[in-house]
Each structure stands twice: as C-alpha cells, then as structure tokens.
C-alpha cells in the first residue's frame, strides 16, 4: 500500500481493528475449544495417576503422547506459551519411552492445568 506524503498520519489506516478482530476471534475459539483442551489434560491426568502405580499401558501411553503433542501446538496458537512449553516437555517425557519417575508427570500435568487458568 502506498502512502501519500501529504496525507496526515492520523488518516492512515491502522492495524488496530484487525488486531482487535483477531483477538476477539481467538477468544471465541478458546472458549469453544476449552472443553476439548480440558478433556485432553484429563487424559494426561489419567496417565500421570497410572504412572504412579507402574508402567503405563501401551494404549494409554500412546493416547497421552498424542494429546501432549496436540496441546503443545494448540496452546501456543492461543498465546499460552508457558502451557505450550509444558505440554512439549510432557510430550518429550513420554517420547523418551523410559520409566517415568513417580510424580514427575503428575507435577507437570498439574502445572499445565494451572498455566491455562491464568
């Protein structure tokens, strides 16, 4: 877009309306998708609780890994950068396919839940 040097800066279009629309759209999407996000975190809660008892069953391990991956991507899209990073750490922990220390997954999942509530 070319600008006319004789045109006052106050007459030039700004990105503010677009930014406001984007923020509004993301807020609506967040509210609509929050139940699914919470359901995904509940899967991680189940996996974390199971990890305290012993090794994860392969199907639960795979489901938790998939959910952590999805959360890592989607939470960042909504601007929850810390939560996205926590989900990525959980994903990496599950990808390592090593025995999970008893409360490590539980602690990280609890921190993830807190991160989306702020």
pLDDT, position 5: 43
Per-residue pLDDT tens digits for 70-106? 999 999 988 899 999 999 999 999 998 777 766 889 9
**Interatomic CA distance for residues 46 and 40, integer angstroms:** 10
| pLDDT per position as a tens digit, 17-35 | 788 888 888 889 999 999 9
Q: Residue 1 and residue 3: Cα distance in Å, rounded?
A: 7
The pLDDT of residue 1 is 46
* Helical segments of 78-118, H only: 81-95, 104-116
- Share of residues in the chain with pLDDT > 90 (%): 58
């Amino acid at each position: 877009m070319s600008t006319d040097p004789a045109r006052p800066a106050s007459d030039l279009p700004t990105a503010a309306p677009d930014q406001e629309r984007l923020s509004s759209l993301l807020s609506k999407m967040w509210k609509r998708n929050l139940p699914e996000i919470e359901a995904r975190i509940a899967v991680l809660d189940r996996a974390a609780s199971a990890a305290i008892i012993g090794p994860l069953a392969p199907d639960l391990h795979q489901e938790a890994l998939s959910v952590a991956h999805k959360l890592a991507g989607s939470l960042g899209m909504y601007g929850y950068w810390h939560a996205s990073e926590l989900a990525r750490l959980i994903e990496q922990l599950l990808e390592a396919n090593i025995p999970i220390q008893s409360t490590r997954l539980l602690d990280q999942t609890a921190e993830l839940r807190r991160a989306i509530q702020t």
